[in-house]
Each structure stands twice: as C-alpha cells, then as structure tokens.
Amino acid sequence: MRSAVIFGLGCSPHNLKPFQDAESHKTDWRIGMPAASDQADAILLFGGDGTIHRHLSQLVKLGLPVLVVPTGSGNDFARALGLRNVRDSLAAWRLYCAEKSNVRSIDLGVITPLEAASGDPLTAAGSTPNDPPRDAALGTRYFCSVAGVGLDAEVARRANHLPRWLRGHGGYALALAPTMFQFPPFPMKILSPTASDPDPTQDCHPDQSFSFPRGVGSTVEGPDVLPHALQKHWNRPSAAPPWEVKWQMKKSQTTLLAAFANTPTYGGGMKIAPRAQMDDGLLDVCMIGAVDPFKLACMFPTVYFGRHLNIREVDYFSAAHLRVETDHPLDLYADGEYVCRTPAEITVQPAALRVIVHSSMRSFGVHAAEHA
C-alpha cells in the first residue's frame, strides 16, 4: 500500500514512527501531498484544524481516504471523527489497513467572498488591486469544522498570536476572557435562497469548469467548490444563470457572534453546535444576540456542554446555503484561520471528503463522537 504523509507545524518523521511500527504488511511511505490520486492509496495528515484547512482543496480533488492524526492546538475536526489522540488514530489506521471498513464520506462547508475589504466587488483573482495582502487572492474556500463572524472570529485572531504551546492548552479560552468585555455587538443579516431557487440535492457534471460571477472566486474544475444550492444549474445550460439567486431575509438582528458549523465543537472542545452532523448536507447555525458581558461570562461555561441553546439570546437553526451581510466588513474565520470579510455566501458541499474514522463512529449523530 502507498501512503502519503503530510506533516503540519511542529511535526516530523518522528511522529510517523508508531504507524510504521504498526505495519502488518509492506507500506510505501511518501512524504508530501500527492500530485494525482494514482500516486497514493491513502493520506495521513499530522496536524490540527488549521493544517487540515489549508490542504482541503487538494484533498477533495484527490478523493483519497484521509486519516487525521491530531497534533494541533485545537483538533476539533479530529475529535468529530472520534480521533481524540494519536492512539485513536493509530487504532483507526490499523483497522483501515486490515479491513478498510472505517472510511466515511463527509460534508464540507464552502465560503465565497462577495466583496473585498474596501467594499468593491472582487476581481477574478479574488481581490481588488489596492486591497491589503490579507484580502488578496482568496477565492472560494472549504472549511471542515466551523466558520464564524463576530466575537469568535476576533477570539480566533487573538488566539493565533499566542505561543503555539499555549494555544494547545486553553488558548481559545484565554483569548476569549478579555475579548468578551471589549467586542461590541453588531447588526447582521442572514439571507437564504427563496423556495423557487435550485434544488440543493442535484449533482453537477464533474468535468465542467465554472467561473464565479462578480469575480467572487477563482475558476474551479468541476463542482469542487460550487455552492451546493446552485448545482442544479450545472446540468441545465438553458436555465437562468446560476448567479441570479433570489434571496429572502432569514435573520436580521444585533449579534455578538454567528457560527456556521459542520462539526459540533470548535475552540478546543466548545460545543457551539451540539446537533451538527457531518453527513446531513446542512450547516448548523448558532447566533448569539446582544448579551451583557457579565451574562456572557456566565454563559461561557455552558457552551462546553452544549447547554447554551436554552438561553433566550441564542438562536439555532440549520441551512444548506446562506448569505451573510454586516453594516461594515467584518472578519470571517474558519477552522481558526482567516478567510475573508463579509459579505459572503456560506454553503455546504455534501460528501466532499473521504475520511478514516475511529471504529466507534458508526454514524455522525449527536452522540456519535462520545466514545470512550
């Protein structure tokens, strides 16, 4: 078997040794991302949510089974796959080598920026010529765990400036403590396609290319990062252009944070979306309205147990395709990484990634990841 290995920050071939020692048959280990799917049979990725995020586009294109070995600071994506530590990943790898019975297809979130930070429409490259570097060439991006706007995005920004060892030991909570007393609520609108818009369950033709209108993304091959609610148009050349989506207001309120979740947790174990499932074709949305900072501080511990949904200021729903707008551009982070600024469209790509999971993961239901 040929196995490709990707090492994230702080990892080295030393991390691979337990997997090499566990070989029951000859494995050809190849360091680095394969250029094509015929160059490997599986991929081992050592890292956290940020490392996975940065490789998602290529992993989706390859279509190979991916085993995540959690060595990052948050590891929320690995946790959602039942992989809480290296020992879990090693057990999953042994099962895969023996039976290949623990491979699942999961959804990914997709973010499409609609404007640059200056407020001008994006160019085909993904930015206007005078934008700062952080907004350059963003295009359309996958995410595996949770995307967020508002307080959680600001916390992610601050946490990313902490030392790596500290980020892995409560860094998100440390960054949150001062931020919750400083970050002001903001007006936010969330829109959804009208009922007459394309059926979000239709597949696309895999060999066509598509350039996003308004320059809101790079040209992509096939439906890799096409907003799922537009995919019906892919096979209907006579239909109205896919960018003629009609929108209706779903939520308009003063908001402290909005999280768009493919997995239940983020920030190192906070259950912001306890009902999220990675194979239901939907993102779970958790919005927290204007809350007094002291009440927010009291609410904070409940998020670790998913008990915040009963609080009056919390709104929770599911959707496959949304548009997010704010009065002024705000940072949008996903998997702990900066993606773009609002406005943006956020959607889901069903069954986009094949992953190797823990043997306890028979499904991705609410309690599936709660294995011993």
Query: What pLDDT shows up at residue 337?
Result: 92
CA proximity to 274, closest of 369, 352, 344: 369
Give the max Cα distance, the chain: 59
The pair phi, psi for residue 17, each rounded to 5°, is -55, -45
Query: What pLDDT shows up at residue 141?
Result: 95
pLDDT: which is higher, 236 or 193: 193
187 and 46 together in one domain: no
Q: Is residue 234 domain-resident?
A: no
Confidence of residue 212 (pLDDT cuts 50, 70, 90): very low
Does residue 255 surpass a pLDDT of 70? yes
pLDDT: which is higher, 189 or 199: 189
The Cα–Cα gap between 90 and 93 comes to 5
Q: How many CB atoms lie within 10 A of CB 358?
A: 19
182 and 298 together in one domain: yes
The CATH number of the domain where 306 resides is what?
A: 2.60.200.40
pLDDT: which is higher, 224 or 180: 180
Asked which of 55, 90, 106 is the last residue of a domain, the reply is 106
| DSSP secondary structure of 230-244 | GGGGGG-TTSPPTT-
Please work out, in degrees rounded to the nearest 5, the angle formed at the alpha carbon of residue 200 by the alpha carbons of 196 and 201.
Answer: 130
40 and 169 together in one domain: no
Q: Is residue 95 domain-resident?
A: yes
Does residue 206 surpass a pLDDT of 50? no
- 66: part of which helix (H) or strand (E)? strand 66-70
- For the chain, how many residues are written? 372
290 and 339 together in one domain: yes
Query: What pLDDT shows up at residue 139?
Result: 78
Asked which of 50, 73, 106 is the last residue of a domain, the reply is 106
The CATH number of the domain where 87 resides is what?
A: 3.40.50.10330
Structure letter (DSSP) for residue 184: P
Side chain identity at residue 327, one-letter code: D
Per the prediction, the chain carries an average pLDDT of 80
The Cα–Cα gap between 232 and 239 comes to 9
Does residue 273 surpass a pLDDT of 60? yes
Range of the domain at 85: 2-106
Residues of the chain above pLDDT 90, percent: 53
Quote the number of domains for the chain. 2
Q: Is residue 293 domain-resident?
A: yes
Which whole number is the average pLDDT over 203-213? Answer: 39
38, two tokens: 């015929």
125 and 101 together in one domain: no
79 and 134 together in one domain: no
- Going 212 to 216 to 218 to 220, the CA torsion angle's sign is negative
Q: In this predicted model, what pLDDT tens digit does every residue of 147-189 receive, in sequence order?
A: 999 988 888 888 776 766 566 556 666 777 778 778 889 999 9
Q: Is residue 277 domain-resident?
A: yes
CA proximity to 6, closest of 37, 38, 29: 29
173 and 118 together in one domain: yes
| DSSP secondary structure of 5-34 | EEE-TT--HHHHHHHHHT-SS--EEEES--
